[in-house]
Structures are given as C-alpha cells and as structure tokens.
Amino acid sequence: MAAPTTLKGPTRDFLGWPFFDDSHKALAEKLDAFAASGALSHIDHSDTDGACRAIVKALGEAGLLDAATGAGGSQPIDSRAACLTRETLAWHDGLADFAFAMQGLGTGAIGLSGTEDLRRTILPKAQSGEWISAFALSEKEAGSDVAAMACSARKDGDHYVLDGEKTWISNGGIADVYTVFVRTGEAPGTRGISAFVVFADDPGFSIAERIDVLAPHPLATIRFENCRIPASRMLGSPGEGFKIAMRTLDIFRASVAAAALGFAKRALDEAVAYAKARPMFGNHLSDLQLTQAAFGDMAAEIDAGALLTYRAAWRRDVQGLPTTKEAAMAKMVATENAQKVIDRAVQIFGGRGVKSGEITESLYREIRALRIYEGATEVQKLIIARELLKA
C-alpha cells in the first residue's frame, strides 16, 4: 500500500496495557525506526515477487524476523512480539506484513517438531532473510475441511514419495523451503496426515499455477510428481501432521488479528486526518455529527479487537495456557471489525476512497482475505463453540 501520507506511524498508547513489558516497547521503537528509515518505501511494489524478496531481506537485515522465527530457533516464539510486529508492518505496508507472517508460519512447524538438523539448517536462514518459507496445507477440495486432503506420500525404504497438489500456497513460486502436509494413511481422517519439509529444488516438485488475488502477493498451486524426499525430513511422527498444523496455526492465528488491527488503525488515522481537512457545508467533514458517530464506532471496534488479540497472545506467552478459543475469538472479531472500519473509511473519503492507488482502496483489498485465510470467520465460530462445549 504505497500511497502518500503525512502520517508518520501508528500511535503507541496501547503499549501501556498490562499485556506488554519493556521488551515490547523496545521492539516498537525498533519497528518505528525501521519504517522511518525508508527501507519499505524504497522497494518497487510493481514487481510483487521481487518486492517480497526484497522485503524479507530488509526485515532479516534489521533483525525483525526474530519475532517470526524465534530468533532462528534459539528461543520460543513470543506471540506478543509477533502480533506487535504484524500490526506495525500492516499499518505501513501490507506486503511487508505478509512477508513477515509467512516467515513465521512457514517455519513454525519446523521449530515445533523438526529434527535438530532441520532446525539448524533452515531456521537461521529464514531468520536472516536468506531463505523464504511457505506453509502448504490447503487443496482444491480441502480448505476448511482438512480431513478431505488427497495429496499423499508413500513410504519407500528410507524415503517418502509425494504425489498430488496443494493450492492457495502463499509464497508459492518464490519460497526456498515448504512445510507440506500430506496423507500418509496411518488412520482415517486427520489422524492419517503427516508433515514434511520440501525444498524448491527437490526433483518432482514444481509450480503448477500462479494465482492472482485482490491484494497482490506471491501465491500458487504447487505440484508433486513422484517427489522423493528422505524420511528424515518428516516433522514429528507419522500421523501427527494435523496436530502439528493446528499447533502452528494456534501460535500465529492471533497475529492475523494483529494484522487486521494494523490495517484498521491506518484506515481510522487516514479518515480522521482527511475529515479534519475536508471542507464541507461551510465547515469541515469532521464537524458533522454523522462523521463523529462513525469515528466513535470505528475506535471502539478497533479497541475491542485489540484487547482480544493481545489477551490471547499474553495468555500463551505469560500464562502458558492453551489459546485455541481465545485466538479464534481474536481472529474473528478483529478481522470482521477491521472490515467494518475500513468500509467506513472508504465511505468517508467518498469517490476518492475507491480510486486506484488511494490508501483506502488498498486497505479495502488487503483486509478482505484476512476474513478467510487461517480459518474463515465461520470456522472460528465453530472452534469457539467446540471449546465451550468441552467445558
């Protein structure tokens, strides 16, 4: 989202909430300094693949990928740091948020369940930005219904042979390493899924199709044809893939909510600045009560999402408790509320709000996918209900 603005960056009042400590305040200063350096604005976003590579490199050189990879696997991932980073990057640049998030999601399962050799080989390179990672779970007939997965792997001596396709794979086509979930058949449904590490240069691996979406980022269908990889590249044990995927998503699902907060806060900041400067009926747009009422709704909706988001992250980091329900609540509320906030911002900007290249138009495209990926809103409702019914 490379639209000009006089705004310098997001406000930091919320860092006074009890969810944060001094390390998060220091991270916020580091993020603000990185954004102010122009490292993102100097990257040509017209070439999405090239821009994504350049952003990952810039984030790595600035030490900002530590929050996504657990400092290259040397320490546990701090959920609050990941959320704070995503919120800040999303405020400044949607593709930067995407690039950061995928370095975490693509390597999260490796950090959780990979062998020491895999961790040592992959995580430091992802942390530095030398390697780009991807998370390959979805298929054409298996999105929310993971148990319908058809892509498979068969054991052949000390190797596994993968066949089938994965689609909607973020970083597909530019990633160096993929965490791939396939059916190995130990049991029916999700109990027969295993996870593997696949490298982009493995024989039998290819890009079947590149996919264009509303907010451009690298996305593809990937294909495996007799793709033979060592059994040592399995993550965890046979049949544990679904559990590994869900543990990974539990870590990063709250960060999706944080990205939505960044987009929503940028929309509100831009709308307030615009309304205060826009002449209207002999005064300014901001003086109209309907505009003020909209701002009241927008601010409250953002804070509601923020409180749920950082509660979920704090619960995981500090209390060490499961966050399946809490992260689902955060993801559902923050993304849905952000859609409302950004839609109102577009309305406040009027015709200018839908003009290509305007910040509101860009934010409108950015937010829509967040209500779908890493579990659509409807799925989050089911997760919340399931957790309640367990009690």
What are 58-100's pLDDT values in tens digits? 999 999 999 999 988 888 999 999 999 999 999 999 999 999 9
Burial class (CB in 10 A: 0-12, 13-18, 19+), 296: exposed
CA distance 30 to 384: 35
Average pLDDT over residues 117-126: 97
The pLDDT value recorded for residue 251 is: 87
Residues 332/255, Cβ–Cβ less than 8 Å? no
Residues 146/132, Cβ–Cβ less than 8 Å? no
Q: Which of 74-83, 139-148, 240-249, 337-346 has the lowest mean pLDDT?
A: 139-148
CA 381 to chain centroid: 19
Taking the model in full, what pTM does it have? Answer: 0.94
The pLDDT value recorded for residue 281 is: 94
CA distance 56 to 199: 18
Counting Cα atoms < 13 Å in the Cβ hemisphere of 33 gives 9
The pLDDT value recorded for residue 9 is: 87
Residue 132 pLDDT exceeds 50: yes
Residue 109 pLDDT exceeds 70: yes
Residue 2 pLDDT exceeds 80: no
Average pLDDT over residues 303-332: 96
Residue 225 pLDDT exceeds 80: yes
Mean per-residue pLDDT of the chain: 95
Could you tell me where the beta strands, DSSP code E, fall in the chain? 133-136, 152-156, 159-170, 177-183, 193-199, 205-210, 219-230, 234-235, 279-280, 283-284
The residue type found at 317 is: D
336 classed as catalytic: no
Residue 102 pLDDT exceeds 50: yes
Catalytic residue (choose from 361, 374, 378, 387):
374
Q: What is the pLDDT of residues 153-185, one digit of tens each?
A: 999 999 999 999 999 999 999 999 999 999 999
Helix (H, G, I), strand (E, B) or coil at 201: coil
Residue 1 pLDDT exceeds 70: no
